[in-house]
Amino acid sequence: MKFGYFDDAKREYVITTPRTPYPWINYLGTQGFFSLISNTAGGYCFYKDARLRRITRYRYNNVPIDMGGRYFYINDNGTIWNPGWSPVKTELDSYECRHGMGYTIITGKKDSLKASVTFFVPQNYNGEVQQVVLTNEGTSSKSFKLFSFAEWCLWDAQDDCTNFQRNFSTGRVEVKDSVIYHKTEYRDRRNHYAFYSVNDTIDGYDTDRDSFIGLYNGFNNPEAVLNGKATNSFADGWSPIASHYKEITLAPGETKTLVFILGYVEMPVDEKFEADGKTINKVKALEMIEKYNTPEKVQAGLAELKAAWDKLLGILSVETPNDKVDRMVNIWNQYQCMVTFNLSRSASYFESGIGRGMGFRDSNQDILGFVHQIPDRARERIIDIASTQLQDGGCYHQYQPLTKKGNADIGGDFSDDPLWMILSVSAYIKETGDWTILDEMVPYDNDMSVAETMLKHLDVSFYHIVNNLGPHGLPLAMRADWNDCINLSCYSDTPGESFQTYTNPKFKAEGGYSKIAESIFVATLFTYTGPNYVAILKHLGKNAEAAKAQAEIDKMKENVMKYAFDGDWFLRAYDATGAKMGSKECEEGKIFIEPQGFAVMSEIGKDQGADIKTLNSIDKYLNTKFGLVLNNPCFTKYYIQYGEISTYPGGYKENAGIFTHNNAWIICAEAYAGRGDKAFEYYSKIAPAFTEETSDIHKTEPYVYGQMIGGKDAGSDVGQTGKNFGQGKNSWLTGTAAWNMVAISQYILGIQPDFDGLKVDPSIPAEWNGFKASRQFRGATYNITINNPKHVCKGVVNMTVDGKTVMGNVIPPFENGTHDVVVTLG
């Protein structure tokens, strides 16, 4: 069942009922000011840091789930409704929500009155603009009352939802003309305030929540709205809000447009107040308001936003026989990658914005998805991340975006972390041809006095693996190895201990983690990423170092084949007792997805057919109608030696959930092995546009990936196997976005930036006649046509560039111009 449709020409998803199976959200903002907005206008905004500078309040895990947002209430002679249906939930005569690139338009109609609200954050602007267009579509005049509503958060979101004994007494506001200012703590230690304005006169306002809503009422029936009049209340302690009240009369056919702005202002300390030393200096706010105080200015702001997205999305676009692929590649997957760049894992409807900072491994992987769109910002991001690395090549697992410093509370020793940086730096160079990033002096642990070149950082990353091998010459598993929930040194039996940061005293004595537990996943990630490092060294003429690194990769491949090939697939790990994990010999969790794809792409044991055996085993044991489960069979008991993984009921999260992130690695591997049909089958099982038809089962947004989909075992714990099979969770902020972008664009469609230029090596469904792609790359634009006359999956037999045949399948680099590339498969 669907709850809307894609409008590809406008790059929008159009939701046609407010009763989606979960709130379906969008993000506004790309620079400093961000908003989350659901299809019923729920959500909140913040400036830069969702925890430390939260502007409006939101209560997570609420009942109903999506309560609180920016709401417009209409009281039309006693009929009370919202354009977005919620929170009043009066049935509307029509409803529509259009989520577009950085904007959302929600339109509701009731009794011939239409209210359409466009929400967006303009470029270079610290505020959310809300344009409300009210139209009387009836034949007689209409008088009604309009109320706006936003609830202020007292800045620090964590403190705001815990420290009530203080917070109920600190709220402060100011009202001047049609602007409501939120100034809690502004007089004291804060140099920022927020405001909510409207570009017209008002007939009243409210700034005190209880006066507006009433102590025994809710968002669904605020007293002031029921009474049809604002109370002109002043918040003083308790909970400050902002609500404008306006009485409006519209003749038949008449339209009235109002522009509301929810803005954020920072002030220099000596300019905070007017001459009286008390009243807020409003100059900056008034300038901001001035910028978008007419519908024309709003239109210009929207056009500017659209132009920015045209540019970002114009770098890569494709025309394939499948319109779902086109809308993923051209629009939504790229859009999601930009959102993960902006938000990392901080604020979504599943991430509270007060938890994690930026992840080392997460941020490096995110780079892969957006480096073609914003190479300069990717470069900056890579250097920020690398600056938190430690001298021995280890890394802080997370860092805080505001300070850019490694997070000591979480610490390091996550065994895969350093390797992802080799991948992100390589991806950056492959995209841009900018080798100078390697010469950049980058600190360790943010200490510039011990800075070394980025190349050296890659070196310590590579050798951090080599220097930390276990008994089989395989990488030590340490605290977790991509899979947060495989914690082989943890052995926790005490509630509340973090599986990721708690280490059993036995291992602590050995230096923090078991010297026996080994990760086959990290081994294969090493053999997959390592060749990039070797290629970089060769390019720099460092042949001896390249040979040395290559020898380590070769040795690792040998060890994996010798000690970790289980006959039909690769093991997952050796645990701290030296027992196999992810083996035929295991009772549960016999096969895991993670090491398999990278092993195949590293061609480990290819001469013995290990690659095809492995891929076939995945198909046989992990494949389901909704995607590939992470492991099989799921764990049904607590395995203390594995850590967190078996704490989840079977079918969820890392315990046999469908982790869309590493489904992509298998898609890549199938494509790599030339099995384009299989690659595409797996791709289309999880790509959101393809799950749209089953939105009632999938539940989360059909335009973006979630981290996880319930696996075939979901529900088995309560004797209802399959109950939540296919149900998506944790949408938006996930490494899935980047990896599936890589899988479809570079592996299936085969448009691959490489060190020497743009390589074209598709691995597509055999039934396709071909496809077209347009790709801007290092200053030139390539219009690529792929022909597939023999209906093969893979194999370039001929390539012409501007009519001339070239050898191989790497387009010779041009620095500018537009070039026609024709590729024939056969």
Catalogue the active-site residues.
484
State whether the Cα torsion 268-269-275-278 is positive or negative: positive
Per-residue DSSP letters for 697-719?
HH-S-TTS-EEEE--TTTTGGGT
Judged by beta carbon, residue 483 or residue 684, the one nearer ligand BGC is 483
Is residue 208 within the footprint of ligand NOJ (CB under 6 A)? Answer: no
**Cβ distance to ligand NOJ smaller for residue 76 or 416:** 416
Judged by beta carbon distances under 5 to 8 A according to partner kind, the member of ligand NOJ, ligand BGC, none in contact with residue 482 is ligand NOJ
Residue 331 to residue 495: CA distance in whole angstroms? 44
Q: What is the dihedral of CA 304, 308, 309, 310, to 10 degrees?
A: 90
**Within 10 Å of residue 621's Cβ, how many Cβ atoms?**
17
Smallest distance from the beta carbon of 484 to ligand NOJ, in angstroms? 4
Shortest Å, Cβ 476 to ligand NOJ: 17
For ligand NOJ, the binding residue among 181, 482, 642, 665 (CB under 6 A) is 482
Taking contact as CB under 6 A, which single stretch among the options 252-260, 479-487, 738-746, 809-817 is the one that binds ligand NOJ? 479-487
Please tell me whether residue 654 binds ligand NOJ under the rule CB under 6 A: yes
Residue among 375, 340, 339, 376 nearest 359 (CA): 340
Residue type, 806: V
Kindly tell me which of 592 and 680 has the beta carbon lying closer to ligand NOJ.
592
How near is the Cβ of 523 to ligand NOJ at its closest, in Å? 17
Q: Which is nearer to ligand NOJ, 343 or 536 (CB)?
A: 343
Q: How far is the CB of 350 from ligand BGC (least distance, A)?
A: 8
* Cα–chain center distance at 558: 36
What's the DSSP call for residue 515? S
The answer for 534, left when phi > 0, alpha when psi is -120 to 50, beta otherwise, is: alpha
- The partner in contact with residue 483, picked from ligand NOJ, ligand BGC, none with C-beta cut-offs of 5 to 8 angstroms by kind, is ligand NOJ
Q: In sequence order, what are the residues at sequence separation of 6 or more whose Cβ sits closer than 8 angstroms to the Cβ of residue 523?
A: 474, 475, 556, 559, 560, 564, 595
Should residue 156 be labelled a site residue for ligand NOJ when binding is judged by CB under 6 A? no
Q: At its nearest, how many Å lie between ligand NOJ and the CB of residue 727?
A: 18
Which one, 362 or 566, has the nearer CB to ligand NOJ?
A: 362
Say how far apart CA 133 and CA 156 lie, in whole Å: 33
Binder of residue 644, out of ligand NOJ, ligand BGC, none (CB less than 5 to 8 A by kind): ligand BGC
Say whether residue 345 binds ligand NOJ (CB under 6 A): yes
* Shortest spacing between CB 653 and ligand BGC, in angstroms: 5
Length of the chain: 826
Q: Closer to ligand NOJ at the Cβ: 174 or 654? A: 654
- Binding of ligand NOJ by 418 (CB under 6 A): no
Cα-based distances in Å from 742 to 141, 344, 536, 646, 737: 56, 18, 21, 30, 9
From residue 798, give the alpha-carbon distance in Å to each of 18, 677, 747, 783: 51, 22, 19, 16
Are 736 and 664 within 8 A, CB to CB? yes
Which 3-state string (H, E, C) describes 620-662? HHCEECCEECCEECCCCCCCHHHCHHHHCCCCECCECCEEHHH
Write out the residues near ligand BGC by the rule CB under 6 A.
484-485, 644, 653-654
DSSP category for residue 180 = E
Nearer to ligand NOJ, 711 or 753 (CB): 711
Residue numbers 348-387 binding ligand NOJ by CB under 6 A: 359, 361-362
Residue 362 interface partner, choices ligand NOJ, ligand BGC, none, CB cut-off 5-8 Å depending on type:
ligand NOJ
d(Cα 627, Cα 613) in Å, to the nearest integer? 19
Q: Does 484 bind ligand NOJ (CB under 6 A)?
A: yes
Whose Cβ is closer to ligand BGC: residue 258's or residue 630's?
A: 630
Least CB distance from residue 480 to ligand NOJ, whole Å? 7
Q: Does residue 483 belong to the site contacting ligand NOJ (CB under 6 A)?
A: yes
118: partner contacted, choices ligand NOJ, ligand BGC, none (Cβ within 5-8 A by kind): none
Determine which helix (DSSP H) or strand (DSSP E) holds 754, and give its type and residue range: strand 751-754
Q: For residue 238, which phi and psi values (nearest 5 degrees)?
A: 45, -140
CA-CA-CA-CA torsion sign (184, 186, 191, 196): positive
Q: Which residue is nearest to ligand BGC (CB)?
A: 484
Which residue in the shown chain puts its C-beta closest to ligand NOJ? Answer: 484
Q: How far is the CB of 753 from ligand NOJ (least distance, A)?
A: 24
Selection from ligand BGC, ligand NOJ, none that 359 binds (CB < 5 to 8 A by kind) is ligand NOJ
Burial 218-229 (b: 16+ CB within 10 A, else e): ebbebbbbeebb
Q: Which stretch binds ligand NOJ (CB under 6 A): 22-30, 478-486, 599-607, 697-705?
A: 478-486
How, if at all, do strands 818-825 and 780-787 pair?
Answer: parallel
Largest CA distance in the chain: 86
Residue 594's binding partner, choosing from ligand NOJ, ligand BGC, none, with beta-carbon cut-off 5 to 8 A by kind? none
CA distances from 534 to 367, 445, 565, 784 (A): 20, 26, 25, 30
313 binds, among ligand NOJ, ligand BGC, none (CB under 5 to 8 A by kind): none
Instruction: From the list ligand NOJ, ligand BGC, none, pick the one residue 142 interacts with, judged by a Cβ distance below 5 to 8 Å according to partner type.
Output: none
- In angstroms, rounded to a whole number, what is the distance separating the alpha carbons of residues 502 and 491? 9
When the beta carbons of 309 and 652 are compared against ligand BGC, the nearer one is 652
- Considering CB distances under 5 to 8 angstroms, the limit depending on partner class, which of ligand NOJ, ligand BGC, none binds residue 361? ligand NOJ
Q: Using CB under 6 A, which of the segments 161-169, 482-490, 605-613, 766-774 binds ligand NOJ?
A: 482-490
Phi, psi of 234 (to 5 degrees): -115, 125
The minimum distance between CB 710 and ligand NOJ, in angstroms, equals: 16
**Contacts for 773 with CB less than 8 Å, ≥ 6 apart:** 316, 317, 318, 319, 749, 751, 782, 783, 784, 786
Number of residues located near ligand NOJ, criterion CB under 6 A: 9
Nearest residue (CB) to ligand NOJ, 484 versus 611: 484
Q: How far is the CB of 480 from ligand BGC (least distance, A)?
A: 9
Residues of the shown chain interacting with ligand NOJ in the complex, contacts defined by CB under 6 A: 345, 359, 361-362, 482-485, 654
